[in-house]
Amino acid sequence: MRHFRPIIVALTLAVCFAAVASAADMTLTGSGDLYRLTLEEDGLTVTATMSDESIVELLVPQTAGIVTPSYHVGVDESSGAVFVLWQENEGPEATVVFASHSEGTWYGPTVLAGGDGTAAINPQMLVFRHSKEFKADEEGEEPIVVQDSILHLVWWSFEEAIEEGGAVYSSVPVDDLGLPIFDDVDVRSLTDLLAYGIACPEITDAARLAHPRLFVDPQSGNPHVFATDIGQCLFQIIELKYRPQFDSITKRRRRVVIFGRSRMAPVRADLKLATARVQVGHNLTLVVYWNKGDAVDYLKLTEEGWTDMRSLALGDGLGLQRAVDLIQTLTH
């Protein structure tokens, strides 16, 4: 298994926040192809049920007998490439591992994080097709539209204790064949983004907050990352904006993702992000909710802060999907 060792760079961020759509163990393409990822005896297996009802199975190499509490599948619809991301092992030995399949060939597995004195857990992935328009050099010419697929990745990194770690974000460009361009990878820590400290009460169960999420804001159409900064007792939502750069001499394009607007909110230590669902609406209103079997618990984040935890009891004609639909209307 190959190892990839990116360097986490420092950054500063002007403070400002955003619906959740990230790859999981299933993903559905716009053409109606359904991809499922399961852990079988032989290893991680991608089963694709195509829109014409044909079925394709892909076995991820070097995954027989692995221990993985978290795995995700994504598809680049422009190339047909399949991406698989998973956590391998648990505790101090945990790593984040990635493999891709393009034109009949597997590439990887590649260790993206962990195994170097740090542990990496709770990865998530969002495959996003970015579009950027540039003005033409000559007056009267049509603008130039650049489209690129980007793998947006997040995980939680720590050395000895989860509460001493933090969320990490990485963007990996994808070429026209669907192959990740690791030479252009960008990795950033999502902790200590504020220039000042915040009084922070003790968090007794950091593990349930160590689950960064990726999602697409329905208002702007841009991907965002939602993560906890335990050291400063903050939730943060950060916009991910595409800013490609061109070298006029080499004619090489560099695919760059920058942090745009963001929003910070105080941590609620009672949130269990591992099982939470997140819905974001207009003006970055955020609703977090949980299926408890007989009820759906939820709370809302507005500009004034978090509401109290509330609950919709299921039954008497109110099913789970209807309850979720009702809760999601609170973001309008």
- Structure confidence by residue, pLDDT tens digits, 130-189: 777 666 566 666 666 777 888 999 999 999 888 888 999 999 998 888 899 888 788 999
Tell me the one-letter amino acid at 83.
F
Within 8 A by CB and 6+ apart from 309, the residues are 270, 297, 298, 299
Q: What is the pLDDT of residue 217?
A: 80
Task: Specify whether the CB–CB gap between 229 and 193 falls below 8 A.
Answer: yes
End-to-end alpha carbon distance in the chain: 46
Query: What's the average model confidence in pLDDT over 277-304?
Result: 80
Judge whether 331 lies within some domain.
Answer: no
User: Rounded distance, CA 93 to CA 7, Å?
Assistant: 19
pLDDT tens digits for 194-205? Answer: 666 666 666 777
User: Rounded distance, CA 243 to CA 133, Å?
Assistant: 10
Judge whether 171 lies within some domain.
Answer: yes
pLDDT tens digits for 54-77? Answer: 999 999 999 999 999 999 999 998
Judge whether 129 lies within some domain.
Answer: yes
Judge whether 232 lies within some domain.
Answer: yes
Judge whether 206 lies within some domain.
Answer: yes
| DSSP sequence for 119-152 | EEEEEEEEEEEEEEEE--SSTTSPPEEEEEEEEE
pTM: 0.81
Query: What's the average model confidence in pLDDT over 27-51?
Result: 92
Q: What is the pLDDT of residue 64?
A: 94
- For residue 191, with 0-12 CB atoms within 10 Å meaning exposed, 13-18 middle and 19 or more buried, which class applies? buried
User: Rounded distance, CA 18 to CA 144, Å?
Assistant: 28
Band of the pLDDT at 88, cuts 50, 70, 90?
Answer: very high
Number of domains in the chain: 1
Among 123, 172, 182, smallest CA distance to 149 is for 172
Q: What is the pLDDT of residue 136?
A: 59
Q: What is the pLDDT of residue 221?
A: 82
pLDDT tens digits for 229-256? Answer: 888 888 888 889 888 776 655 556 777 8
Tell me the one-letter amino acid at 141.
E
Q: Which domain holds residue 177?
A: 18-134+142-274
- Give the chain's mean pLDDT: 81
Q: Which of 21-25, 166-170, 212-216, 270-274 shows the highest mean pLDDT? A: 166-170
Q: What is the pLDDT of residue 247?
A: 60
Q: What is the pLDDT of residue 207?
A: 82
Residue 10 has pLDDT above 50, yes or no: no
pLDDT tens digits for 200-221? Answer: 666 777 888 888 989 888 777 8
Residue 125 has pLDDT above 90, yes or no: yes
Task: Specify whether the CB–CB gap between 237 and 17 falls below 8 A.
Answer: yes
